Structure formats: C-alpha cells, structure tokens
Amino acid sequence: MNTYAFRLLNVFAIAGDPFSGNPLAVFEDARGLSDDRMQAIARQMNLSETTFVFPSERASAKVRIYTPSFEMPFAGHPTLGTAHVVRSLTRAGDKLTLEMKAGIIQVTAQDNRWELQANAARTRPVEAAHAELASMLGLDVADIGEQPLWVDTGSEQLIIPLRSVAAVGRASPDIKLMAQHAFSPSRGASMAYVWAEDGTGGIVSRFFFPKAGSIAEDPATGSACANLGGWLLAHGAALPLQRVIRQGDAVGRPSLLDLRVEAGGLIHVAGLVSDLGSGRISI
C-alpha cells in the first residue's frame, strides 16, 4: 500500500470568499500511479478536474489532468492551481512551465494570482444553425449572437455568443441536442460555453457539459476563457484587450477570470488561487 499526498485549492477565486472559484485536487507526487488508478482517484474526488504531478525533463513538472470520466490534454484552472502547488514544492519561483499533453504551458505569478499563456487559437465553423443551437440551449433564436465557433487553444470547445446577460441566465441545455450539435470529435465529448457582454466592459459566462446522464455546469473554465480570446481574435476585436469574466453564480461558486490578448495575438488567462486544505490517501 502506498500513500499519496494531495492539496485542495480554489482557482479563479474571489478574495475573502473561501468557497468561490473552481475546486481542484492536486496530487503532489503521482509516481507509481497507473492511468487506471489516476482515473479512479479522479472519480473518487468527484471534482471538475484532479491533477497528478510527475517529474519532467522538459519543464518544471509534468502534469496529467483527469475529470471523473476521462483525461484532458489541457484545462485552465488545473494549470493555474497545479502551478501554485509546483511552486510550493520545488521553489521554482514565479515563472515556470508545465508539460501537458497539449504541450508546454508557460505560467507566471504575482503573489497568488496566476496567469497562463494559451496555445495559438485554431477555429472551425459550426455546422448547426442558430435555430438548432437555440433549441439546444432552451433559448429563442433571437438570443443567439454573432457567429458561434469551435475554438481550440489546447482544448476544443463550442463558443456561443448570446445577445444578453439575461439569455445567459436562462440557458438550460438539452442533453440529447448537445450530443448532436455540441460534440467535439477531438475531445470525444460535448460541451458548450455561452457568454454575453454585461454592458460595463465585463462578460458573464456559463459552461455546460454532460455528466452521468445529465447536464453539469462548471464554476470557472479557464480553457473556455482562452477559447473566448480565440473567438474575439477571429472576429477582429481591437487589440490589445482585457476582459473580466464572471462565471459560477448559477451553481453557487462565484468566480472571476481575467482574459488578456496581446497586440500580437497571444492569449493569457489569469485568476486568484487560494489554498483550502490538504490530505493523504492510501491505496
């Protein structure tokens, strides 16, 4: 029997609120764990994602990311939260790199505010019509905004702009229609990110995905925030740009994500990481 230490964190947290942001479990040293064991542990933790840290010859650490159902090549809040733990374990400082299946991800920090640089965005058109997307989301066709796109800055997702914050709040996806219109072959899963400008320069968003036969909602989705940057680039947004994205209120986990796109098109996602607790499992 071996013992493995882990830490519990909140990523994209709001200062002073211990139950804000997206929860994450990070296993500090996963050497000796098989793929099946990591998947089983992630299912046991039952968080959006659980990460496992390994030594790397190419970066500050190698990281594997698992949801309760499958492994992911990249995800935003696991990247920032794991970087926070790696800094603590290795004293690597405020600039480090993480080796993931999506590639080498650069991460930097100012105190406990962490920022990642996403991969260059790739996009492809959406085959579903606006009316089909509206039906999928339980909305009126008039609620669908400008051209939705599939965007991939490390993890492909369907990015759907809506015309109002009220429409974002009303969204109630149909799981069967998501399987038809929001399925990513590269991910082998369905997902939809909806968002709208809030009228003050900020953005309100929600991220939906099927889980155990029903629709689940993510409190804060860093990869989708990066993909939103790719959407804005594809639609000719003036650069450089910065946006604050509010997510998670609908599931009782208010979260703040900072999106920054440089003049040259580099996409950055940042947020506050807070420590919540730690523990060990023996298996």
- Helix 222-234 and helix 76-90: axis angle, to 10°? 120
**Predicted confidence (pLDDT) at residue 89 exceeds the cutoff of 90:** yes
User: Which is catalytic among the residues 49, 99, 115, 217?
Assistant: 49
**Predicted confidence (pLDDT) at residue 220 exceeds the cutoff of 90:** yes
**Predicted confidence (pLDDT) at residue 92 exceeds the cutoff of 90:** no
The chain-wide mean pLDDT, for the chain, equals 96
pLDDT digits (tens, 9 = 90+) for 196-217: 999 999 999 999 999 888 999 9
Q: Is 49 a catalytic residue?
A: yes
Beta pairing partners, 218: 207
Percent of the chain scored above 90 by pLDDT? 92
pLDDT digits (tens, 9 = 90+) for 259-271: 999 999 999 999 9
The model's pTM is 0.93
User: Average of pLDDT values for 32-48?
Assistant: 97
**Do 43 and 50 form a contact (C-beta atoms < 8 A)?**
no
Looking at per-residue confidence, does 69 or 135 come out higher? 135
Looking at per-residue confidence, does 22 or 186 come out higher? 22
The reported pLDDT for the residue numbered 254 is: 98
**Do 283 and 6 form a contact (C-beta atoms < 8 A)?**
no
Q: Cα(52)–Cα(31) distance, rounded to whole angstroms?
A: 9
Contacts of 136 (CB under 8 A, 6+ apart): 128, 173, 174, 177, 178, 180, 181, 182, 192
Give me the domains of the chain, ranges plus CATH numbers.
3-117+271-282 (3.10.310.10), 122-269 (3.10.310.10)
